[in-house]
Amino acid sequence: MKKDIQIPKVEDVYIAVVNEYNDIYKTHDWNAYIINDKEVDLDMVLIVTSGYSENKQTSVFRKKLDKLPKKSYAKIELMQEELFALNNTFKVSFFEGNTMFDKTYLFRKNTINLKALQPLPLMDAKGVLVK
């Protein structure tokens, strides 16, 4: 029975953490985004984030997007720099048509930093990307 279950592979959906200037507070903030680089819309996108280490764990944050249009992105959350010393997971589930997809994205501890910035798909920004 288990061999009959097909789990589709998630492609062209990414999580990025971007260092952006905040005009209101005149600060540089780190924000997490979900990027849909597919040619189709994603429906009922559920994102569950948390951070952890051997002796620490953050609270769980949940976000729902009814629709994430094709070739677009959406902000998930503001991230405090203290979280970068932890492993940060983003568990993403969504529907593409009638098929449900699920993937866990992991930013390992201390991998989110200014030296790790790279160009991001669809965004006119640089950030740390997990595929």
The two three-digit tokens of residue 3, written as one number = 């061999």
Question: Residues 77-93: pLDDT tens digits?
Answer: 999 999 999 999 999 99
Its sign, for the CA torsion 70, 67, 11, 3, is negative
Give, for 42, the enclosing helix (H) or strand (E): strand 42-52
Report how far Cα 14 is from the mean position of its chain's Cα atoms. 6
Question: How much is the pTM?
Answer: 0.94
Question: How far apart, in Å, are the Cα atoms of 110 and each of 2, 16, 69, 118, 127?
Answer: 37, 15, 31, 16, 14
The two three-digit tokens of residue 64, written as one number = 């729902």
Question: Residues 27-80: pLDDT tens digits?
Answer: 999 999 999 999 999 999 999 999 999 999 999 999 999 999 999 999 999 999
Question: Residues 93-125: pLDDT tens digits?
Answer: 999 999 999 999 999 999 999 999 999 999 999
Q: How far apart are CA 10 and CA 93, in angstroms?
A: 10
**Burial (0-12, 13-18, 19+ Cβ within 10 Å), 46:** middle
Return the DSSP state at 23.
Answer: T
- Split at pLDDT 50, 70, 90, the class of 1 is low
Q: How far apart are CA 87 and CA 80, in angstroms?
A: 13
Q: Are 13 and 39 in contact (CB under 8 A)?
A: no
